[in-house]
Every structure is written in structure tokens, then in C-alpha cells.
A = this chain, B = another copy of it.
């Protein structure tokens, strides 16, 4: 049987057992981008990224531990994830470890964050 989907923008002719081709979506793009999304798919990490974005300067990790209602290992674990995702960099200064958003973030990533953070 033939059926036309005209109410939404475009009339599509359908036949049983016959599929349509989809718009091409780059496989590597999907893989890379989903990795970035995973890094941001947690409220704690999002808060960290937003704080670093707003701070515009290195922030000591102990300050996160101090006001985030999570244990120190958990905070450390989330920061490690952000580092693995290539979003932040860090440096030790005496007792303290400072984190900041990497200066060499891809432009697309930077625009994404600018878009995301209120």
C-alpha cells in the first residue's frame, strides 16, 4: 500500500519492506562529540566547568571539595574525568592543586560552553 505523509513538511511515499536513506552523519563526529557530552553529563562536573568558566582563573580543588557536599575522592574523581576529556588542566602549587579550563580548547568546544553556561 502507498501512503503519503503530507501534513508534515514533505510528502513521503512509503512501501513495505523498502527503506529510505537517511542524511549522512559522520561516524567519527558522533563518537567524538558523544565523548564530550559524557564529560558534561553530570551535574557535579557541569558545575565545576561552569565555575571554572566564570572564574577565568585557576581554582584550587579544595574549594570545590569545600562547598560541594561530596567527599574529597569524589571531587578528585570528577576532576580527573574532566582532565581525561581534555577540558581542564592543572598544576600543583605547594599543598594545593589548581585547575583551569584549557586555553587551547577547540573553538567549537569553547562556543559550546559559551552557549551552555548561563
A interface size (C-beta, 8 A): 59
A64 to B45, CA, bound (A): 32
Minimum CB–CB distance from A71 to chain B (whole Å) comes to: 15
State the oligomeric state as a number of copies: 2
Whether the pair A34, B41 counts as a contact (CB closer than 8 A) is: yes
Residue picked from A1, A44, A116, most chain B C-beta under 10 Å: A116
Chain A 25-55, CB-CB to B under 8 Å as 1, else 0, gives: 1110111011001101111111100110011
Interface residues of A (CB under 8 A from B): 1, 3, 5, 8-10, 12, 14, 16, 19-23, 25-27, 29-31, 33-34, 37-38, 40-47, 50-51, 54-60, 62-64, 66-67, 91, 93-96, 98, 100, 108, 111-112, 115-116, 118
